[in-house]
Amino acid sequence: MIPLTGFNSLVDLIKAFPNEQSCIDHLERIRWNANVVSPFDPSSKVYKCKGNKYKCKTTGKYFNVRTSTIFEDTKMPLQKWFIALYIFSSHKKGISSHQLAKDLDITQKSAWFVLHRLRYAFDHPAFKKMLSKTVEIDETYIGGKEHNKHASKKKYAKGQKRINNKAAVFGMVDRESKTVIASHVDFSDDGVTEYLVTKYVSQEATLISDNSDLYNPLKEYYDHQIINHGAKEYVRGMAHTNTIEGFWSQLKRGVDGIYHWVSVKHLQRYVQEYALRYNTRTIREDQRFNVVLTNMVGRLTYADLIRKKHSQKSN
């Protein structure tokens, strides 16, 4: 059970967590629920020490509630982390690192790192369960319009309509549970759509898509209804893709309005950010705050973040 603290405004949050100890106590309740587990050896006996520290008997190593989490190796007080998480998760379209830096009185570089660590926790397993009812699938593309680019940056000649310069995002949404799963994909990889759908969508589900060739192999596994967008068909009874297209609209408005541009390298984290907002849109601010904290285990270092290839939690 996720502990609730009843805050639904930034003022309430600061009242609920007025100092570092109150933040530590809250994290310990969420992470361990009075049963402290060593991050070095889960089977080891644990000794409580002074200063909110613990000792793993098996390894002899000391640790605290920040160890092996998104908060590890950071000098920023937990209260500031909590404020950052509350602001970030409660804003409908996100917040830029420049604005967060002003709000927290930290550097823009630090705010950028904080936001990416929070996005790391937004990749929540609770929203990666099988979709089993009526599931809409669709793809969208993120990137600037070709006619707005300098001639040297354009990827194709005038009159052609290729979109291989844009980043593809594939999504699935269950109408009943109102759960969306979305991933940055490379459609040049054969079978990527088939792999994602069969991984996350039960074969008992009814699948709905447009008439893209990407979805032809899925007919073998599912009751697959197709809307022919090319023939100006958008709704046929219960068959439509309006729900997933609504999510694409939210994603693109957020990227365009708040971030203006995101790199392909980090695109999946931004997709995770908007997916979690969508999946938690009907719950209270304090509940969403705590949902993210339940997924705080796992590290994302600055070196990992800026290198060409960096680690991510598996989808």
Q: What are the pLDDT digits (tens) for 23-57?
A: 999 999 999 998 999 999 999 999 999 999 999 99
pLDDT tens digits, 125-157: 888 889 989 999 999 998 766 555 555 555 544
Task: For residues 165-175, give the mean pLDDT.
Answer: 91
Asked whether the beta carbons of 86 and 23 are under 8 A apart, the reply is no
Q: What percent of the chain has pLDDT over 90?
A: 62
pLDDT at position 220, please?
87
Q: How far apart are the first and last CA of the chain?
A: 24
Q: Examine the pLDDT at 1 and tell me if it is beyond 50.
A: no
155 DSSP β-pair partners: none
Q: CA-CA distance, 262 to 113, in Å (whole number)?
A: 14
Task: For residues 205-210, give the mean pLDDT.
Answer: 92
Q: Examine the pLDDT at 203 and tell me if it is beyond 50.
A: yes
Nearest to 182 by CA among 267, 295, 265, 80: 267
Task: For residues 219-226, give the mean pLDDT.
Answer: 90
pTM: 0.84
How would residue 224 be classed by pLDDT, with cut points 50, 70 and 90?
very high
pLDDT at position 155, please?
53
Q: CA-CA distance, 51 to 45, in Å (whole number)?
A: 19
How would residue 158 be classed by pLDDT, with cut points 50, 70 and 90?
very low
Strands, sheet with 46-48, edge to edge from the N-terminal-most edge strand: 46-48, 54-56, 62-63
Asked whether the beta carbons of 207 and 224 are under 8 A apart, the reply is yes
Query: Which ranges of the chain does DSSP label H, i.e. alpha helix?
Result: 10-16, 20-31, 78-90, 97-104, 108-122, 192-200, 242-254, 267-279, 285-293, 302-306
pLDDT at position 121, please?
93
pLDDT at position 311, please?
43
Least trusted range by pLDDT, from 86-90, 163-167, 261-265, 307-311: 307-311
CB atoms within 10 A of CB 73: 9
pLDDT at position 165, please?
72
- Relative to beta strand 179-185, strand 167-174 is antiparallel
pLDDT at position 234, please?
79
